[in-house]
Amino acid sequence: MTRLFALAIFLAAFPSIAQARAFKSSAGDLKVETVVGGLVHPWALAFLPDGRMLVTERPGRMRIATPDGKLTPPLPGVPKVFASGQGGLLDVVLDRNFAQNRTIYFCFAEPEAGGARTAMARATFAEGTLDDVKVIFHQEGPLSSGPHFGCRVAQAADGNLFLTMGDHFKDRDDAQKLGNHIGKIVRIAPDGSVPKDNPFVGRSGAKPEIWSYGHRNSQGAAIHPQSGKLWEHEHGARGGDEVNIPQGGKNYGWPVISHGVNYDGSPVGSGKSAMPGMEQPVKHWTPSIAPSGMAFYTGDLFPAWKGSLLVGALKDQMLVRLSLDGEKVTGEERLLQGLRERIRDVRTGPDGAIYLVTDNSAGRVLKVAPAK
């Protein structure tokens, strides 16, 4: 066995100590290093107070990853998931009062006869297991056979939870129908009940959980650290990826309007990009970058980037930084081009570094910090 081959085997077995790579940016050279490898299609991460991370894998596993590269066995207590197509165990977040209540929330593709639907559960995190697991929301409407579950969770300052859901691809017209949850963002209380100030409470024929509608497939959601508003992004078809600031009761257009076209090149819906009564995105991409994961940068390692919106890209395999002036996007910087990995999730770490999850069969958690 050659020394080079032996070194390659060693680094594959212990990816957390693999040599870091450097990339150029407006904030200087970036160092990208592997925190932990050995993950199968990881989808999301959430930081525990001690710096460890909860990491989900789409096949249905939740693990704890440590900053020094250790990975626990799967935690018991995760419900059975529909691990097919884009389905599986997806987002995970900690409750804002986690230090007191040890509560986490996670969403997943819930199997049913003939397909699956998006669901959200809450659980008590105990060391090495999940206790008191309870599904607090089940999507209503036609089942998905595999595509477009959406499934990002964001908790507002008032404790209420937003959950994004896709249009299941084949059921896209339902995104305009208020009688189901397809292509919607819903808002629920931590116990699964409906907040009394939801926009469709008391409206005949409308699901009271709905916050906004006309969404295609949202895989990014975050609460703005100053305004407290929900921001989300969603996949277009061929072009028309969007960043929105969803307001209660508003219609975001899909599939009537779009800044992109269908995969076969034909027009989407009306063929128009704007119509009265339908909201416009604050940012859109054509061609599509296939966005997934979203975080506002709130750390101190990159002072010039504070307040920027960070977006992962699957198809274009990069990290996008959007500079903001209030609710206006003022610039775009494309980072880590050449990484050649699908970025599924983005988080600001407690140390001020940027953490990424790469959605591959040999997936990783990456740390992005200034090169020194």
Q: Residues 41, 138, 148, 259: which is the catalytic one? A: 148
Residue 362's CB is within 10 A of a number of other CB atoms, namely: 13
Residue 58's CB is within 10 A of a number of other CB atoms, namely: 25
Which residue pairs, CB below 8 angstroms and at least 24 apart, start in 104-108?
104/46, 104/54, 104/130, 105/136, 105/153, 105/155, 105/161, 105/190, 106/56, 106/62, 106/78, 106/153, 107/151, 107/152, 107/153, 107/163, 108/60, 108/78, 108/79, 108/81, 108/82, 108/151
Residue 127's CB is within 10 A of a number of other CB atoms, namely: 8
Handedness of CA 138, 81, 57, 72 (dihedral sign): positive
Asked whether the beta carbons of 175 and 167 are under 8 A apart, the reply is yes
Peptide bond into 255 cis (omega under 30): yes
CA separation for the pair 234, 244 (Å, rounded): 8
DSSP 96: T
List Cβ neighbours of 355 (8 Å cut-off, separation of 6 or more): 35, 45, 53, 346, 347, 348, 349, 365, 366, 367, 368
Kindly tell me the number of DSSP H helices and DSSP E strands found in the chain: 2, 24
Peptide bond into 287 cis (omega under 30): yes
DSSP 56: E
224 tagged catalytic: no
The structure tokens 């992005």 sit at 368
**Known catalytic residues?**
148
